[in-house]
Amino acid sequence: MRKLILEFKPYETVKEAQKPIFEKIHSYQILDMLKCNYEEGLCVDLIEVQLKEGISIDDVKSIGKMEIMSVLKSEGNTHTCLIKYFEEEESMELFKEFDLDLILSTPSIVTEDKCTVSYIGENENLTKFVELVKKYGGTITNMSFKKAVYQKQDIISILTDKQRDILIAANKHGYYDYPKKINSEQLAKKVNLSKATLVQHMRKAEGRLMANIFAGYLSE
């Protein structure tokens, strides 16, 4: 598992498309990606917004196509908001290309002229992400790959929503008990997945947990 920190300058076409986002704000930082459904094109994020001078958060109902669902905290021109975003139908295929089993990390900050994004994942998927940014996003100005060091408080957050839900269900129904109270076929029925899909998700989740737990102990 590695952590990628990528800085890039958006292409002019991207900047033009993002103009509505920056009509009233200087920048926004993605604090947490609470939900991202690549099939439905739905994202729910926790973001921190820096408003332009003279703009009140009461006057901002949306940031571009991002609907502000709730303002959780305000300090001066900085506001922590819960936002919802639906990808447009014409760009859904491109949106799905970014379904790479990556975990959002910090810093992830977007301004009109520069984007900094951070993700944790396998080398292969991080490399694919970089290539997609080069193709669609902008000119890369800085990039670093670091070992994703395990931190106790982050152990659950390194999993995708689906992986986390499955492991919680597995634990709840006694899959990890000894002896097991439920087998993989029975668990699959409870979470409405095929056995093959369930096992695939569990193996990825367990592998991700173990890789992060031992990141500080294993050699490069």
Which CATH code for domain 154-213?
Answer: 1.10.10.10
Per-residue pLDDT of the chain (220 residues; tens, 9 = 90+): 789 999 999 999 999 999 999 999 999 999 888 888 888 899 999 999 999 999 999 989 999 999 999 999 999 999 999 999 999 999 999 999 999 988 888 899 999 999 999 998 889 999 999 999 999 999 999 999 987 654 544 566 777 888 888 988 998 898 988 888 999 999 999 999 999 999 988 888 888 777 666 555 444 4
Report CA 170 to chain centroid distance, whole Å. Answer: 23
Which segments of the chain belong to CATH 1.10.10.10?
A: 154-213
Amino acid at 103: I
Neighbour count for residue 202 (Cβ, 10 Å): 18
Burial of 121 (0-12, 13-18, 19+ CB in 10 A): buried
68-115 tens-digit pLDDT: 999 999 999 999 999 999 999 999 999 999 999 888 888 999 999 999
Interstrand relation of 2-10 and 25-37 (parallel, antiparallel or unpaired): unpaired
- Which residues, at least 6 apart from 167, have a Cβ–Cβ distance to it below 8 Å? 159, 202, 205, 206
pLDDT mean across residues, the chain: 88
Give me the phi and psi of 117, to 5 degrees please: -125, 145
pLDDT at 213 (0 to 100): 60
- Which residues, at least 6 apart from 16, have a Cβ–Cβ distance to it below 8 Å? none
pLDDT at 136 (0 to 100): 96
Give one DSSP letter per residue of 117-133, joined into a string. Answer: EEEEE-HHHHHHHHHHI
Contact of 81 with 49, CB cutoff 8 Å: yes
pLDDT at 219 (0 to 100): 45
Rounded Cα–Cα distance for residues 32 and 213 (Å): 21
* pTM check: above 0.75: no
